[in-house]
Structure 1
Amino acid sequence: MATTHEIKVERREDEGKGASRRLRRSGKIPAIVYGGDLPPVSIQLDHEPVWLASQHEWFYSSILDLSLGGDIQKVLLRDIQRHPYKQLILHLDFQRVNEKETLRTAVPLLFVNEEKSPAGKAADVVITRELKEVTVECLPSDLPQAIEVDLSELKVGDIVYLSDLKLPKGVEIPQLKLGKDHDDAVVIAKHGREEAAPEEAAEGDDAAAKPDDGK
């Protein structure tokens, strides 16, 4: 079951760049809610609790409950605009969710047990994570906060593909329906680049230092 999180919002009456700047100076974030059978609605949120929420992965992939005076609307975060160098959120876009309709959204991958795996214990093995998230399709009630990737059995030479992921019930990866060419690698374990032996390196240096005898 998907975990939901309640965020309190207020309706925003004034719009435009000037109104948005005034909101930000007062510690508010301008935002919009759209989608479904209802028209778009301009709202505002307190910056501090939203900033704290934005430090967690669930803020980006979970169903959020926007509470407007007791009226709850289930939404997904679709866009976040940040200040280029200040710790400020400038604007948010939320999309309404129909609990009876399949949705498509990105979900983060949670890698576990890498340090326990044969590859993780080997000093000369490099483990690369090719993907950080994956796009899934499911009903809102089935949306996971993350998809766990268990690497406990990972060995050198192994490749974990999208098709290897264990998905929660009711969750699908639409990309896999396009064929084997779209079964992307998620994790790769391979030997690291071996450095040249000291003797070989010394010989190379000596050869470079020898003067050209003209032959």
Structure 2
Amino acid sequence: MKVVAFNRTLQGTGASRRLRKAGQTPGIIYGGTEAPKLIALDGNALWHALKKEAFHGSVLDLEIDGATQQVLLRDFQMHAFKQLVLHADFQRVDASQKIHTKVALHFTNAETSPAVKLSAAVISHVLNELDVSCLPGQLPEFIEVDLSKLEAGQSIHVNDLTLPEGVTAVTHGQNLTIVTSSIPRGAVSADAAAE
């Protein structure tokens, strides 16, 4: 995805407030070998871009004064009740160095899994995103979690996932639980009463 930004020279609360009133959002780019750079982005375009999942989990092409650099969205602050992005942080990425970021998990085939179809189990998502490490070119937009073989009372862990080539999960030696399936308490007692 492409993002257009403009150089920003003034900083501070008053300058940022004036920028927001003009329909722009203050931001910063940091990382890499260059010094941090203050930028301004179109507030409305940024608001709509933040609604797309790909904007959060992919390497972006950020254009400033005709020069393009690759960045990752690292953080953003929203107004408490207005449709307004207060600030955005971007980190430069080097194509030859691994990055550490979070990737969204997409859950598929829940309704056809034996846990739901045969046992009327409830599937609980423990994690919705996963910490990964990879080269910028190998960063997936999302990781698919297939629930088609999930039985009642079972769980799916990070080690059960099939990750894209070059992508490794950052779990610090733990086999984190991603999904659990359990039969609701009322359903168990109803089955026992029926027997």
More strand by proportion, 1 or 2?
2
Match of residue 9, structure 2, among 9, 13, 21: 13
The reply to whether residue 162 of structure 1 matches residue 155 of structure 2 is no
Alignment match, 1:183: 175
Where in structure 2 are the equivalents of 1:70-89 lying within 5 Å?
Answer: 70-89=66-85
Shift of residue 123 of structure 1?
Answer: 6.2
Percent pairwise identity = 44
> Under a length normalisation based on structure 1, what TM-score does the superposition of the two structures give?
0.84
3-state secondary structure, aligned to 2:102: strand
Question: How many angstroms apart in 2 are the aligned matches of 1:44 and 1:82?
Answer: 15
Gaps of 5+ in 2: none
Where in structure 2 are the equivalents of 1:4-153 lying within 5 Å?
Answer: 5-122=1-118, 124-153=120-149
Q: Alignment RMSD, CA only?
A: 1.4
More helix by proportion, 1 or 2?
1
Amino acid at match of 1:89: V
Shift of residue 124 of structure 1?
Answer: 3.0
2:109–2:146 contact (8 Å) kept in structure 1: yes
Gaps of 5+ in 1: 201-215
3-state secondary structure, aligned to 2:111: helix
Amino acid at match of 1:185: T
Question: How many angstroms apart in 2 are the aligned matches of 1:41 and 1:120?
Answer: 51
Q: What is the total number of aligned residue pairs between the two structures?
A: 190
Alignment match, 2:185: 193
Question: How many angstroms apart in 2 are the aligned matches of 1:22 and 1:117?
Answer: 54
Shift of residue 119 of structure 1?
Answer: 1.6
Deviations 1:119-157 (A, max 9, x none): 232463111010000000000000001100011111112
Moved more, 114-123 or 165-174: 114-123
